[in-house]
Structure 1
Amino acid sequence: MAPEAPVTTSRLRAAGDALYRAAGIQVEHHEDEVAGLPTHWVTAGRADSPHAVLLHGSGGSAALWYPTLSALAARRHVIAVDMPGHGETSIPAWPSPGTMERMLEWLAEFLDRFDWPLLVGHSLGGYMSLLHFARLRPNVAGLVLVDAGGVGPRPPGFVMATRHPVLGALLGLAAGARPTRRRMERTIRRLSVDPYRIPHGQLALDYALETASRPGAGRFQFEVYRSVAIHEAEPGYKVWGRLHEISSPTLLVWGERDYFPLSYAQQAAREMPAARLEVLPSTGHLSYLEDPEKFNEVLGGWIQATYEK
């Protein structure tokens, strides 16, 4: 089965553009094939500035970096990409056990377009950034890991459950259900301490619901989790225990009440030779959305101290 064409429906694009307008940021939309997959991304800032590539989390999208784009575009050429199966990028028909391997191939090819980018990854995007760096030692200027997966001895329980014969089957069925506004609100409440702190929250909810409603989006998200769970013990997928090998400048940003334990981030910061940890108080897994002012201050200060001396 061939991948679907890029999703450029007026409703989805309009919902994303509404977020950019609300945040006061002008973006340029791009579409091209990456590793054979029709891919969408947006850019902001001067193209001759150093690059920063933003990788969202599972169920997220490029547009959900809206509070960060304007602040970061003042000092970087920002590229926010919709990862496979998310936002306006096609949902691929990849074989399940190899889904994460194909995701990493896609990421490597996408990053080849940009010289020495700073990788900024949230959750799944952070996990992919870590794996990409640990595997390839690529020409990457540094890492920013925001509530990132892979910073810990094993994936969280809900990810591991996807490979259980019974629980996995039930979760797979649930993943195929069409999302509702109420379910999306519940999800955001679980991921945050105070969802009302998220700027332009109703617009963000509108957009998240629009992209999650794409046929096959939920099932693909499940397959990503299952692929991670199946391969989590394999050396090529496990960064924990090898963090000391990552010597590039690294900023870890963690929500104080993230369900990814803060203790993992603290240990990672001790083991990584050039890492710094910043904890955002009273935030959860969506720390960069719950307190964007503090997040942007931390990120901008670290970039200035690390690269603009």
Structure 2
Amino acid sequence: MPTDRQILIMTGMSGAGRSTAADALEDLGWYVVDNLPPQMLRPLVELAEHTGDTIPRVAAVVDVRGGRLFADVQSALESLRGTASELRVVFLDATDQALVRRFEQVRRPHPLQGDGTLLDGIAAERARMADLRNQSDVVIDTSDLNVHQLAAVIAEQFSEAADQTTRIAVESFGFKYGLPSDADLVADCRFLPNPFWVPELRPLTGLDPAVEKYVLDQEGAAEFIDAYVAALAPVLAGYRRENKRHATIAIGCTGGKHRSVAIAEELGRRLRALPDVTVSVKHRDLGRE
């Protein structure tokens, strides 16, 4: 198999956006096969090999629609690992609430629903997909993404320009709304005083200079950022050695509005100075009350 052949396996929960992601990959020049039985993964890769450089980037969508055939997905992936130098498994996920809403919008049953409810089908699929999710190289939570935002995420991670760097997403969040499900690393900045209790800062956010200065000037803030960036440097170097091209670093405070936003912005600025890293910063809970 050519050493520069890129193989992408797209999988995940039904309703999490696999079709949208597959379309986005096609737009980026990937050769995409949807609903492929796992047993056909190796023949697909071998077929691509015979084309020479004509099809250097191959993506296959595999999921529970394959029925009994899907049971062999783990062995099929194991047979490919070690032969394809650029094999990555991408898992699309979403909360139960988001999946239920999407299925109700299109008025279609879940493929594993049977005589039960939508939630019964989702629970059965989560159990069946648990091991595959844990072994995936990239997990993308699409709960709060529309089709255009998901396409942008796919383009950001899997375009040719993205292949040369490790893409780091720094994401602020509020612990009271739960951890981001796709976070690789989580840091807690609730050890800093909360601007919420300062009347003139309460209506502002960590994007406002007054809040940013208040947070970053607190005792321990600069030391935390310095130490965290230093700790991340060998981690990111290891990611590159292991061909892990994307990682999400989540920074949390109570509500995701003040401290985590200011720290995430500063951390993003500091990480951009590291070699072979592309950094984006987003704020999950900034618009919540």
Give the TM-score category using the shorter length.
0.3 to 0.5
What TM-score do you get using the length of structure 1 for normalisation? Answer: 0.31
What TM-score do you get using the length of structure 2 for normalisation? Answer: 0.32
